[in-house]
Amino acid sequence: MAVIKKEEFKYFEFLPGALIEVDLTSRSIIFMNRIAFSLFNFDQKDIENGLALREIFFTDAEYERSIRVAESFGLESYQNHTAYSRYEKQDLYDFKMRKKDGSYFLGECQGSFVLDEHDVPVGARIYIRDLSEQRQLEASHIENEEKYRTLVENSSDLIFLVDTQGVILSINKATTQYLKRKTEEVEGKNVSDIFPAHTTNTIMGYLNKAFISNKSLTLETPMPMTNKTEWISTSVNPVRDVSGNVTAILGISRNITERRRSDERLEQALIDAQNANKVKDQFISNITHEIRTPMTTITGFAGRLKQSLGEDLKPAEEDYFKFINHASDRLLRTVDALINVSQLEAGTLKLNPKRLHLGQLIELLCEKHRAEATEKQLEIEYIQLTDDDEIWYDEHTVYQAINNIMLNGIKYTEKGGVSIKLERIKKQLYVTFTDTGIGISDDYRDRLFQLFTQESEGLTKEYQGIGLGLALAKKYLDLNEVEIKVDSQKGWGSTFTLIFHEHFPLKEST
């Protein structure tokens, strides 16, 4: 495609928009149609005298940006004198265009190359649309914008607008107060004119991330000031022109120094608490060892002493040995419960789920506690209504949970007994514990599974213990995803129902 001769420019006079043609060698304008002359206020003499392309751009920066746009669409073909092979349609770009009198308007531009007979670019045509009317339309919204401006001005957040070169275009009142400068001392200045070098680098780092990603970002960082460091949370949002080009960044900053200090205090408190837990766990480990070892010695030698007395053992002395055994068992149960609580809170307890017969475990526990129940003249009744009692669970924790529930029933029952029933309903196994004990009040039921609580507390409490049995049972059942429901009325006994759901474990420990 050859360069259009000057006499052929007359065909462009009738175009509905402004058009100019540029010679790439001299980068001068060699043609303007009538609408372009009217738009820019130049005339033919200006062109004949050598009207440089730079003259129609308001600033050097705008002119250089136009060259970069041209280069992105293949200007190197002209520079290398090679055939131009790209013919995709150029996007629209907005530029500040300069009129002859020095005033400017916003022009929407779209360009194309003019090729010689060898398809090498020798010129460029630029189609220009005056956006003044559009801006007038936008001006009709000034009233609403003023309302928003009022909100911005009265915001306690720091709000600012910065262009791609780091020039501060606008700030609100809170920003001026923070900087301790007047508005005219900040607007129009570069960020580097306002802040020291290290602070400037931090701010420009924010802005560049938004320019590069073309997305809104929220960042929290220490902001080094002249004599102190403050934590700032900044939301940076790209501002685009009608063509979608990012032309500025709207930033909203908030001083979060106090919040960060509060977070740091909380974090330190958490570390202190964790350290305290470690000390507590170590203390429990040491104290349980110190209690368990002598208690084992006491019960062992008490048993040998009882055996050595043989037939010489008097009835009253028989009771003494019973008291020793009961007290030892009570103390060892308490120690075991404390160890279990420590393991649960530390998260060191590991499950080993397997598919096991639940009925066998219940039968074992019934036999274990039958003597203790008989001593209180209580009955333990176990009813198994299904042989299909296999289900996935961790044997140790479920054993401990059922053990604690049975002990609780025996402990708080003076007449009657404890009944246990196992049945399958669809894919779930139900274990129901029913006792004829003292029951649970409505007021205490909400605290039933809390650690170290009992319905009767203080020096005058009616029953022994430190309030760990049911709390541990609930935690163990939760680990196995077993539901527990309680139905009780004060003075009429209690019913605890465990619901085992059929589920396959994520991993079976070996």
Establish whether domains 6-136 and 146-255 are of one fold. yes
Residue range 6-136 in CATH 1.10.390.10: no
CA–CA separation, 223 and 66 (whole Å) = 36
CA–CA separation, 68 and 72 (whole Å) = 6
Is the pLDDT at 47 greater than 70? The verdict is: yes
Is the pLDDT at 496 greater than 90? The verdict is: yes
CA–CA separation, 360 and 367 (whole Å) = 11
Over residues 220-245, mean pLDDT? 76
Over residues 224-238, mean pLDDT? 75
Higher pLDDT, 117 or 150: 117
**CB neighbour list of residue 56: distance below 8 Å, 6 or more residues apart:** 20, 29, 40, 97, 98
Dihedral sign (CA 201, 206, 210, 213): positive
User: Pairing state of beta strands 417-425 and 379-384?
Assistant: parallel
- DSSP character for 195? S
Higher pLDDT, 9 or 329: 329
Mean pLDDT of the chain: 83
Q: Which CATH architecture has domain 146-255?
A: 2-Layer Sandwich (3.30)
Predicted pLDDT of residue 506: 41
Is the pLDDT at 236 greater than 90? The verdict is: no
Predicted pLDDT of residue 443: 86
Amino acid at 101: D
Percent of the chain residues topping a pLDDT of 70: 84
How many residues are listed for the chain in this entry?
510
Is the pLDDT at 234 greater than 60? The verdict is: yes
Q: Which of 19, 15, 14 is nearest to 36 (CA)?
A: 19
For residue 1, give the H/E element and its range.
Answer: none
Phi, psi of 498, deg, nearest 5: -105, 135
**CB neighbour list of residue 83: distance below 8 Å, 6 or more residues apart:** 77, 118, 119, 120
Query: pTM of the full predicted structure?
Result: 0.44
Position 2 confidence tier, pLDDT thresholds 50, 70, 90 = very low
Is the pLDDT at 373 greater than 80? The verdict is: yes
Predicted pLDDT of residue 166: 87
Phi, psi of 51, deg, nearest 5: -90, 110
> Using one digit for the tens of pLDDT, what is the confidence trace for 414-463?
999 999 999 999 889 999 999 999 999 988 888 888 877 777 654 445 66
> Using one digit for the tens of pLDDT, what is the confidence trace for 147-190?
666 666 777 788 888 888 889 888 888 888 888 888 888 889 99
Choice among 148-157, 228-237, 409-418 with the minimum mean pLDDT: 148-157
Each domain of the chain, given as residue ranges in start order, spans 6-136, 146-255, 261-332, 353-501
**CB neighbour list of residue 81: distance below 8 Å, 6 or more residues apart:** 120
Predicted pLDDT of residue 346: 65
Percent of the chain residues topping a pLDDT of 90: 32
Is the pLDDT at 411 greater than 60? The verdict is: yes
Predicted pLDDT of residue 458: 45
User: Pairing state of beta strands 246-255 and 379-384?
Assistant: unpaired
Predicted pLDDT of residue 1: 38
- What kind of fold does domain 353-501 have according to CATH? Heat Shock Protein 90 (3.30.565)
Choice among 178-192, 206-220, 327-341, 412-426 with the minimum mean pLDDT: 327-341
Predicted pLDDT of residue 6: 58
Is the pLDDT at 288 greater than 70? The verdict is: no
Left if phi > 0, otherwise alpha if psi is -120 to 50, otherwise beta: which for 438? alpha
Amino acid at 77: S
Predicted pLDDT of residue 175: 83
CB 95 within 8 A of CB 109: yes
Predicted pLDDT of residue 428: 93
Q: Which of 255, 234, 109 is nearest to 162 (CA)?
A: 234
Predicted pLDDT of residue 8: 61
Position 358 confidence tier, pLDDT thresholds 50, 70, 90 = very high
CA–CA separation, 489 and 438 (whole Å) = 8
Is the pLDDT at 205 greater than 80? The verdict is: yes
Q: Which residues make beta-bridge pairs with 479?
A: none
**CB neighbour list of residue 369: distance below 8 Å, 6 or more residues apart:** 380, 406, 407, 410
Is the pLDDT at 499 greater than 70? The verdict is: yes
Position 51 confidence tier, pLDDT thresholds 50, 70, 90 = very high
